[in-house]
A and B are shown apart, each in its own frame.
Chain A
Amino acid sequence: MSVMAQAADRSDAHGGKSLLRFITCGSVDDGKSTLIGRLLHDSALVLEDQMARLEADSAKFGTQGADIDFALLVDGLAAEREQGITIDVAWRYFATARRKFIVADTPGHEQYTRNMATGASTTELAVLLVDARKGMTTQTRRHATIVSLMGVRHLVLAVNKMDLVDFDEARFREIEADFSDFVARLADDKAAVTSIPISALKGDNVTTASEHMPWYDGPTVVAHLETIDVASDRAGEPFRLPVQLAVRPDQSFRGFAGQLSSGSVAAGDAVAVLPSGRKSVVKSIVTMDGELETAVAGQSVTLTLEDEIDVARGDVFCPPDVPAGVANQFEVTLIWMGDEPMLPGRPYAFKLASANARATITSLKHAINVNTGEKLAASKLELNEIATCNISLDRRIAFDAYSDNRDIGGFILIDRLTNHTVGAGMIHFALRRSSNIQWQSLDVDKRARAAMKDQRSAILWFTGLSGAGKSTIANLVEKKLAAMGKHTYTLDGDNVRHGLNRDLGFTDADRVENIRRIGEVARLMIDAGLITLVSFISPFRSERRLARELVGEGEFIEIHVDTPLEVAESRDVKGLYKKARAGEIKNFTGIDSPYEPPQNPEIRVDTAAMSAEDAADEIIEHLVRAGIID
């Protein structure tokens, strides 16, 4: 590194520059793209061929009459240029003599809340644009709320289009006061605000001080961005290093690679490895440029230890006297980014730093109105909605509160079927109960109970449309098993809904909870050693998968009772289809609520091709082959 620093000093001041990442918030109407275009242009970052293309595009798509439309400089996708809107986060780069800047330019409309949260997540400062004529708008409040939630601690309120209000100081002060009031009301009020009156189009107070506003003696936008000290104290915070991977080129070397998220570490320092809590001492800090005495926040390094202790990806190195927390249940703020709504109880893949886990939202405490900051009741979260939730993981992880450390306090949720990133969350604190409840370890276990019954326990999960014949076939299978002396129990959809689940309706959220409870009951049954037959429509793949994952490998046998909708509807034993068609029953599977057929069921029963009796025989044969029964 020192070689690099020297070389940079030799060439010019460039290499020694600091780096500032910031986000710009506002809409095209507020002049946001114009401001970025001006920053790039005035710092001579727009080159001749790009300028030529900009002039051509301005004539074709521009919204500024004969003038150059700087917005087109930043809108990179064809659809954006044609429609004159910003859809996605665009990243821009410029440098002044003192600093290099990375700018996240994000769209301002409510349907792009996820894009703004994404852009804000890596930035230290936010520039919020307000049109001087309109003052604070709903949009301004939303942007301030989002950047505040994302932990951006430095805000710049750029009051734009001052030329259109005759550079009036009173108007500027009024907007400044409104904004300060609002920011003070946001939960996290640690953000520092600097207000600057500008005209992005004309250039006033962007790079050069305005001649039209002698009453303003603060910095220009660029001067402020160049000099603000965001060198937050990350170096002064406790040492944290999430382990990305073990480096083992041969038997003689075993190192742990990762990037310091805060603090510093030196050879000879004592360290603890979380969540295990094992301790050791740093033997060396290895880089290709030689060993380092000390590594600081932001550096990517490889540590070796004095002791051969167990360390793996997902672990976090900390000082033993200032450790990170370790828990598996948390209160969090969750921003939903998926097209499908978030349903409490549904399992998602979870990633925090390098740690992976499986997560479910155990309770949705309240949603947050992103325009006002108000709390609202909610049973699910749609795209772009934000809520305070409790979340439960299947394993314990090392963490800090997001307000203390973004790297090990922020996480994403991933849909396990589509693999899309569907949520972003920020940990507030661990729930106390997660550290108190211990699993009871019992001596007589599932295997012992099943062996006494001369069988292996399993769940036979019958899924299919209403009227497909699930209960009929399940009933035949149970009779055959009983005749063979096997111990069974049947959980039937209708019966369970009369008791355990009578508080649940038929919304998507309730269907998820319905299956979750059934899955848990079935798990207790197989723990008791029983062959458990579950006969439920269970229309969603992800809940069937949840039930599958509650039990061991080979214990879950999914049986798709496959009957075409027309056939099931023509049978209509209970008269339900008729009512659903008449609109008397809402959310009826197959009519106005979807059925997602299994992709790889263990058994598929085609009721058009075989009788219920044949189907039951085939299922019994499968159980024999699988070693559940003899």
Chain B
Amino acid sequence: MSALGHLQALEAEAIHIMREVVAGTDKPVMLYSIGKDSAVMLHLARKAFHPAKPPFPLLHVDTTWKFRQMIEFRDRTAREMGLELIVHINQDGVARGINPFDHGSAVHTDIMKTQALKDALDKHGFDAAFGGARRDEEASRAKERICSFRTADHRWDPRAQRPELWKLFNTRLSPGESVRVFPLSNWTEADIWLYIEAEDIPVVPLYFAAVRPVVERDGTLIMVDDERMPLADGETPKMRKVRFRTLGCYPLTGAVESEAATVADIVAETQAATSSERQGRLIDTDQAASMEMKKQEGYF
């Protein structure tokens, strides 16, 4: 390959994947989680179908525990780009008062995220869902296909995956079945930030270092984003300069102390990092082979 640099090659590959899936399925949707990977994926979707708009809506599964800045950013992005945004909340979970403090991260994630996602896909009849997951994030993801097939009840069977050869994706489905599609499979965290820098893609301000109120629990810095956060006796939030490498539900996402205030700073910090980005995600470690089990049950 003569000229293409690695970011150009990754960009062209992701665009190719999105076009194939749109051509090969009936009703695709893009899972928009508001994070940096979603920002890159959305940017690529706009490129893939330019000058047309991406021919699918965005879907956000809102656990009601996201950072407030994420929700503002989500609504502004959809409005400015003129894209349809579907926000799905598991109202049954809300009625039952499910939250990460009383029910633990595993139950909260299962009901408000995994279950809610499956309900949303069923409700709208989507047969393909783009997601921003990358293979370098976690060991079981490294084994997953770009087009990852799901049964009618959304289960993933790692032992029965379709072989993916060349650039050929088999998107044929039986009624009720669906496919989760990961156009960023071959990107690393460093690639994501380099691309955000190169293409000047807007991201949620939480990624940049700022002085924020945090409490330290089990060695993890948790930001007090609203008054729902219960504080232990004598526990008071401290103001520290922190940023987030990954964004999820605020009570389940650890901050890191950082001075990185620009994308260029983050690129430098990422390349010098000594821990992986999902280290701050408490749900990955709540049990052994945790992500693989969640994925089999229908989590992204």
Contact = CB atoms under 8 A, between A and B. Distances in A.
Contact of B190 (A7, A14, A77, A349): A14
B12 interface: yes
Interface stretch (B13-21, B62-70, B118-126, B223-231): B13-21
Contact of B19 (A5, A7, A300, A337): A300
Interface in B82-109: none
A311 to B, nearest CB: 14
B16 A300 contact: yes
Interface string B137-180: 01111110000000000000011011111111010111001000
Contact of A412 (B15, B48, B136, B165): B165
Interface stretch (B27-35, B209-217, B234-242, B270-278): B270-278
Interface string A90-101: 111101000110
B5 A257 contact: no
A259 B1 contact: no
Contacts of A95: 188, 190
A463 interface: no
Contacts of B271: 12, 14
A169 B77 CA distance: 63
A218 interface: no
Interface stretch (A110-118, A170-178, A322-330, A569-577): A110-118
Contact of B292 (A78, A296, A349): A78
A209 B289 CA distance: 37
Contact of B198 (A7, A117, A407): A7
B135 A18 contact: no
A78 B292 CA distance: 8
Interface string B195-207: 1011110000000
Interface in A455-484: none
B52 interface: yes
Contact of B168 (A5, A11, A255, A412): A412
A3 B52 CA distance: 22
Contacts of B174: 419
Contacts of A259: 12, 15-16, 167
A502 B85 CA distance: 64
Candidate in A245, A248, A287 with the most chain B CB atoms within 10 angstroms: A245
A48 B275 contact: yes
Nearest to A86: B143
Given A48-B275, A76-B140, A412-B170, A234 B1 contact: yes
Nearest to B289: A78
A600 interface: no
A529 B167 CA distance: 45
B141 A421 contact: no
Contacts of B8: 1, 4-5, 298-299
Contact of B197 (A11, A90, A298): A11
A337 B163 contact: yes
A50 B165 CA distance: 30
B163 A114 contact: yes
Contacts of B177: 419
B162 A19 contact: no
A244 B274 contact: no
B166 A93 contact: no
B194 A235 contact: no
B142 A91 contact: yes
Contact of A419 (B4, B48, B172, B186): B172
A3 B1 contact: no
B9 interface: yes
A112 to B, nearest CB: 11
A302 interface: yes
A286 B50 contact: yes
A453 B136 CA distance: 69
Contacts of B15: 259, 300
A235 B3 contact: yes
A288 B47 contact: yes
A16 B5 contact: yes
A70 B275 CA distance: 18
A88 interface: yes
A95 B270 CA distance: 13
A89 interface: yes
A19 B198 contact: no
B171 to A, nearest CB: 9
Contacts of B141: 76
Contact of A245 (B23, B188, B267): B23
A247 B52 contact: yes
B276 A11 contact: no
A249 interface: yes
Contacts of B7: 4, 8, 15
Contacts of A266: none
A259 B8 CA distance: 12
Given A231-B2, A424-B165, A244 B198 contact: no
Contacts of A232: 1
A129 to B, nearest CB: 20
Interface in A303-333: 313
Interface in A199-254: 230-232, 234-235, 244-245, 247-249, 253
A302 B167 CA distance: 18
Candidate in B6, B16, B167 with the most chain A CB atoms within 10 angstroms: B6
B1 A231 contact: yes
B159 A87 contact: yes
B279 interface: yes
Given A14-B194, A235-B3, A288-B46, A407 B53 contact: no
Contacts of B165: 117-118, 121-122, 410, 412, 421, 424
Contact of A244 (B1, B16, B46): B16
Given A76-B140, A351-B168, A7 B289 contact: no
Contacts of A287: 47, 50
Contact of B9 (A19, A50, A114, A313): A19
B173 A419 contact: yes
A4 B198 contact: yes
B47 A313 contact: no
B282 interface: no
Closest 3 CB pairs of A and B: A76-B139, A7-B198, A249-B52
13 contacts: A15-B194, A18-B5, A19-B4, A48-B274, A50-B276, A77-B292, A78-B288, A93-B136, A95-B190, A121-B166, A257-B48, A300-B15, A353-B167
Given A47-B273, A95-B190, A288-B51, 4 more contacts: A7-B199, A93-B188, A249-B52, A407-B166
Interface of A: 1, 3-5, 7-8, 11-12, 14-19, 47-50, 74-79, 81, 87-93, 95, 99-100, 102, 114-115, 117-118, 121-122, 230-232, 234-235, 244-245, 247-249, 253, 255, 257-259, 286-289, 296-300, 302, 313, 337, 349, 351-354, 406-407, 410-412, 414, 419-421, 424
Interface of B: 1-13, 15-16, 19-20, 22-23, 46-53, 135-136, 138-143, 158-159, 161-168, 170, 172-174, 177, 185-186, 188, 190-191, 194-195, 197-200, 264, 267, 271, 273-276, 279, 288-289, 292
